[in-house]
Amino acid sequence: MSDSRHSLRWIAITGSIIAALVLIPIIVLLSMFVFRDNPGAKSLDDALQAFRQGDTSAVESIGAVVVRPPAGVYQADASGKASISFPPTSQIYGASAPVTVTHQGDNCWTTTVDFNTAFQQRWNYCIENGVLTEHSNHTVTGWDLGATSITNVSEFDCSPPGEIIKTGERRDEISTYTCTGTSDSISGTTTSAVTFESLGATSIEIDSVALPTFHYRESDVLSGPQKGTTTIEYWYSVQDMLLVRMERHINLRTDSPVGEVTYKEDGEWQLSSLTPVR
């Protein structure tokens, strides 16, 4: 064999080895991304443990009027899906979603929903002069990308607090307010223009009980680093303002170094029991 053929053969072998060394990690990373696990439902026991580490004060009332919902962990049935366009991935709600109510100071409380083990949102409410108000909301979302994972934490503050339910409200009552938010993965401040529309009183059957509720639709228009719309419907217990059902439709766009990233979410949950676990 000539020296030139011998050299060409070794060049080809060397090239094949280099190509394999480059492609193997890529194939491994792609396989890890394709076969990544979807976050499962958060168990009632995990939510209960988290609740017990916080405030477990009893229900407070003024006369016969309950001023806030009973504290504890409620079981809910859920279905839904959230997705991002880049890297293209999605996650589903857990079939069961713990809903935790914790009391915060006088006539205030936090409602936390664990959509799955990687997706949680909480709302801070108060009853002020007979009006249910929203003060802030907090969202944590984790994404499994195979070889790595990312977590986004966003915090929206509503100042002054948004008025949601008012005594003697008419069916066609509409309230508006503004919340501003930041995210640990997005620079700048996002403004959310919120419209709360009363859809009247209705009954929802939960655990064979026809529960009277206030039905509301929230429509948000977001501007700034995050742009888009959210439409969320809420059902609050007439008796104690317990959030018992929610339907969510969200379409947001965010600028990033790789271009515009779209977040979409569609889903719903409803309590399957009105008795909290402590």
Residues 151 and 25 in one domain: no
Give the bridge partners for 222, in sequence order. 192, 228
Residues 24 and 66 in one domain: no
Measured distance CA(150)–CA(152) in Å, rounded: 7
Q: What is the CATH number of the domain that holds 96?
A: 2.40.360
Residue 278 domain flag: no
Is 252 in contact with 261 (CB distance < 8 Å)? Answer: no
Mean pLDDT value across the chain: 81
Q: Domains in the chain: how many in total?
A: 2
pLDDT digits (tens, 9 = 90+) for 179-202: 999 998 888 999 999 999 999 889
Query: Model pTM?
Result: 0.78
Task: Provide the residue range defining the domain that includes 14.
Answer: 1-35
Q: How confident is the model at residue 45 (pLDDT cuts 50, 70, 90)?
A: low
With a cut of 60, say whether residue 36 has pLDDT above it. Answer: no
pLDDT digits (tens, 9 = 90+) for 81-136: 999 998 889 999 999 999 999 999 889 999 999 999 999 999 999 998 888 999 99
Residues 9 and 134 in one domain: no
Q: How confident is the model at residue 25 (pLDDT cuts 50, 70, 90)?
A: very low
Structure token digits, residue 186: 């997005």
Residues 5 and 96 in one domain: no
Residues 9 and 55 in one domain: no
pLDDT digits (tens, 9 = 90+) for 253-264: 987 766 789 999
Measured distance CA(30)–CA(47) in Å, rounded: 33
Residues 71 and 99 in one domain: yes
Is 252 in contact with 230 (CB distance < 8 Å)? Answer: yes
With a cut of 60, say whether residue 7 has pLDDT above it. Answer: no
Residues 167 and 49 in one domain: yes
Residues 206 and 160 in one domain: yes
Is 23 in contact with 44 (CB distance < 8 Å)? Answer: no
Is 240 in contact with 70 (CB distance < 8 Å)? Answer: yes
Looking at per-residue confidence, does 230 or 43 come out higher? 230
Residue 242 domain flag: yes
